[in-house]
């Protein structure tokens, strides 16, 4: 046997820097730390918001103050000090860009490092991706707007939507995730700075993938973005969301709210690749990712969530579907990878209200290092949800003897014509599989990457092509040197 052991390999790799750990040097327009009504009024004024939105924020804030931070998730962390966070940070240069060429070169560089530059996107996909780039909460570049406009599709930053389409925003925001839904949703409702808004008119099939990249840039700033996607009757949209954050020592809070509304016969496909900074190998730093994502389905409509979660120090996230309309369909496909000291508590809620509603849950958890990875899911079939179906498959793969993999499904059925099937397995990565690969000349790291990608295939297959490639790369990077 060679002298180069797995341990040495692991040691070589643990010094590997977070690939996206760099900071963009753009002077921020940042307010002092702290949270109060004044701060909220400041944010609202800065964004020239209408009174109803300020009222929404202040009402959320008052309710938030009465709420307690949830503790039921299988995660342990030092609670954020909400007075030690700066709630607004916009790049100082606030003028709107007329074209891609006008964008600050440094910012372009940032995007390039993220591997998602417009050029790259254009090259990869022809002209099939429209990107709304969110950097520290303010959307700085949108493209393909005119093309989308022809079809009546609105795709813009949340702030712009508030100014340009106030009635659409007002009629829909907070209808899926009420501001009092939970502690973090309430916080977001009070202080959100920007995000994305998307509206697909009746009967329109959005011809390209809509994409937003989020990233946290400024130290000590929390990111509170809000996404609202409305697919009107018979409309279709596929929406991509990618997230990265530069390396920071202190933990940063990310509390987003995503609301999807699929009207009758509409379909929304929402894909996320989340690669926030996970902290270093000693568990120092990293993002707290406390996100509320929920969609509501009308009759014959469909919402499909796909997520590949490899980043964040602590993840608390349950993209959910309320299957209100008869014959509606909810799907959740998830890969969650944790390494080092990462903690993830993620899953979904499928709430069956309408008749003949169907939901599918495929969750693949991979735990490495000293991480803790939990699936938590709720399947609830209400009394009126006649002939509803759920199928859930939750698998966990363990890479070391120091990590944990946990499965906490809640299955509630109040209808006797419905059917629920849930299966979960937990096992170690197959040593015989690794040996088989090695006997064919494939090195251990490559073998693990192959096996893990195969294990996640069902989920990765749900992603649009260019995202799937990125996700596969991320999986490999996240697990380098992870076998115990």
Q: Which of 53, 54, 168, 413 binds another protein (CB under 8 A)?
A: 413
Element (H, E) at 408: strand 404-413
22-81: contacts with another protein (CB under 8 A): 72
If binding is defined by CB under 8 A, does position 412 make contact with another protein? yes
Q: Which of 181, 422, 464, 476 binds another protein (CB under 8 A)?
A: 422
Q: Is 3 exposed, middle or buried (0-12, 13-18, 19+ CB in 10 A)?
A: exposed
| Assigned token pair, 1 | 């046997």
Nearest CA to 362 out of 321, 405, 391 is that of: 391
Closer CB to another protein, residue 97 or residue 408? 408
CB-based contacts of 310: which residues, under 8 Å, 6+ apart? 273, 274, 275, 278, 336, 337, 474, 475, 477, 478
3-state SS, residue 26: coil
If binding is defined by CB under 8 A, does position 406 make contact with another protein? yes
Closer CB to another protein, residue 298 or residue 369? 369
Closer CB to another protein, residue 127 or residue 427? 427
| Assigned token pair, 218 | 């400024």
Minimum distance between the CB of residue 367 and another protein, rounded to whole angstroms?
8
Q: Which of 120, 411, 473, 477 binds another protein (CB under 8 A)?
A: 411
Nearest CA to 99 out of 90, 91, 108 is that of: 108
Quick check: 289 and 222 in contact, CB under 8 A?
no
Q: Which of 164, 175, 430, 465 binds another protein (CB under 8 A)?
A: 430
Q: Select the span of 106-114, 271-279, 343-351, 405-413 touching another protein (CB under 8 A).
A: 405-413
If binding is defined by CB under 8 A, does position 476 make contact with another protein? no
| Assigned token pair, 214 | 């989020």
Q: Determine how β-strand 194-200 pairs with β-strand 154-157.
A: antiparallel
Q: Select the span of 43-51, 95-103, 128-136, 416-424 touching another protein (CB under 8 A).
A: 416-424
Q: Select the span of 8-16, 99-107, 158-166, 428-436 touching another protein (CB under 8 A).
A: 428-436
3-state SS, residue 17: coil
Q: Select the span of 58-66, 106-114, 291-299, 423-431 touching another protein (CB under 8 A).
A: 423-431
212-241: contacts with another protein (CB under 8 A): none
435-454: contacts with another protein (CB under 8 A): 435-444, 446, 450-451, 453-454
Minimum distance between the CB of residue 80 and another protein, rounded to whole angstroms?
24
3-state SS, residue 418: coil
Residue count, binding to another protein (CB under 8 A): 60
Nearest CA to 404 out of 348, 366, 362, 431 is that of: 366
Could you give the CA distance from residue 409 to residue 413 in angstroms, rounded to a whole number? 13
If binding is defined by CB under 8 A, does position 347 make contact with another protein? no
Q: Select the span of 91-99, 237-245, 322-330, 433-441 touching another protein (CB under 8 A).
A: 433-441
Closer CB to another protein, residue 138 or residue 483? 483
Could you give the CA distance from residue 346 to residue 182 in angstroms, rounded to a whole number? 15
Minimum distance between the CB of residue 138 and another protein, rounded to whole angstroms?
40
Residue 303's beta-bridge partner residues?
268, 330
355-384: contacts with another protein (CB under 8 A): 381, 383
If binding is defined by CB under 8 A, does position 398 make contact with another protein? yes
Dihedral (C-alpha) 433, 439, 443, 446: value to the nearest 10 degrees?
-40
Quick check: 337 and 372 in contact, CB under 8 A?
no
Minimum distance between the CB of residue 162 and another protein, rounded to whole angstroms?
38
Closer CB to another protein, residue 217 or residue 343? 343
- Strands (E) across 42-128 are located at 89-91
| CA dihedral sign, ordered 422, 426, 432, 436 | positive
Minimum distance between the CB of residue 435 and another protein, rounded to whole angstroms?
6
Residues found near another protein in the complex (CB under 8 A): 1-2, 72, 381, 383, 396, 398-428, 430, 432-433, 435-444, 446, 450-451, 453-458, 484
């Amino acid at each position: 046997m060679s002298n180069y052991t797995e341990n040495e390999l692991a040691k070589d790799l643990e010094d590997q820097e977070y690939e996206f750990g760099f900071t963009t040097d753009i002077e921020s327009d940042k307010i002092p730390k702290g949270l109060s009504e004044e701060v909220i009024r400041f944010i609202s004024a800065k964004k020239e918001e209408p009174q109803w939105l300020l009222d929404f924020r202040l009402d959320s804030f008052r309710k938030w103050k009465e709420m307690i931070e949830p503790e039921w998730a299988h995660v342990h962390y030092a609670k954020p000090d909400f007075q030690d966070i700066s709630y607004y940070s916009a790049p100082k240069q606030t003028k709107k860009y007329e074209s891609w060429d006008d964008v600050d070169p440094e910012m372009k560089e940032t995007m390039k490092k993220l591997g998602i530059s417009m050029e790259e996107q254009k090259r990869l996909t022809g002209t099939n991706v429209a990107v709304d780039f969110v950097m520290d909460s303010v959307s700085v570049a949108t493209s393909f707007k005119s093309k989308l406009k022809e079809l009546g599709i609105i795709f813009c930053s949340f702030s712009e939507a508030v100014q340009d389409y106030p009635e659409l925003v007002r009629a829909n925001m907070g209808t899926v995730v009420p501001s009092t839904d939970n502690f973090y949703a309430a916080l977001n409702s009070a202080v959100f700075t920007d995000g994305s808004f998307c509206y697909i008119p009746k009967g329109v099939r959005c011809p390209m993938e809509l994409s937003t990249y989020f990233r946290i840039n400024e130290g000590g700033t929390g990111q509170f973005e809000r996404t609202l996607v409305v697919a009107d009757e018979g409309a279709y949209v596929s929406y991509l969301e990618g997230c990265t954050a530069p390396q920071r020592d202190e933990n940063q809070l990310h509390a987003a709210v995503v609301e999807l509304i699929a009207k009758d016969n509409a379909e929304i496909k929402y894909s996320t690749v989340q690669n926030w900074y996970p902290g270093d190998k000693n568990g120092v730093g990293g993002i707290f990712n406390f996100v509320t994502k929920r969609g509501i389905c009308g009759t014959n409509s469909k919402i499909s969530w796909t997520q590949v979660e490899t980043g964040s120090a602590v993840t608390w996230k349950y993209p959910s579907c309320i299957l209100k309309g008869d014959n509606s369909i909810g799907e959740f496909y998830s890969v969650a990878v944790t390494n080092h000291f990462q903690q993830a508590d993620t899953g979904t809620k499928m709430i069956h209200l309408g008749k003949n509603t169907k939901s599918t849950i495929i969750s693949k958890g991979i735990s490495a290092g000293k991480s803790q990875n939990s699936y938590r899911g709720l399947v609830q079939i209400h009394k009126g949800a006649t002939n509803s179906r759920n199928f859930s498959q939750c698998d966990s793969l363990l890479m070391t003897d120091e990590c944990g993999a946990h499965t906490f499904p809640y299955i509630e059925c109040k209808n006797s014509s419905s059917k629920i099937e849930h299966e979960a397995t937990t096992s170690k990565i197959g040593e015989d599989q690794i040996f088989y690969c090695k006997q064919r000349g494939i090195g251990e790291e490559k073998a693990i990457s192959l096996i893990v990608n195969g294990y996640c295939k069902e989920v990765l297959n749900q992603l649009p092509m260019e995202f799937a490639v990125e996700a596969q790369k991320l999986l490999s990077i996240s697990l380098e040197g992870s076998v115990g």
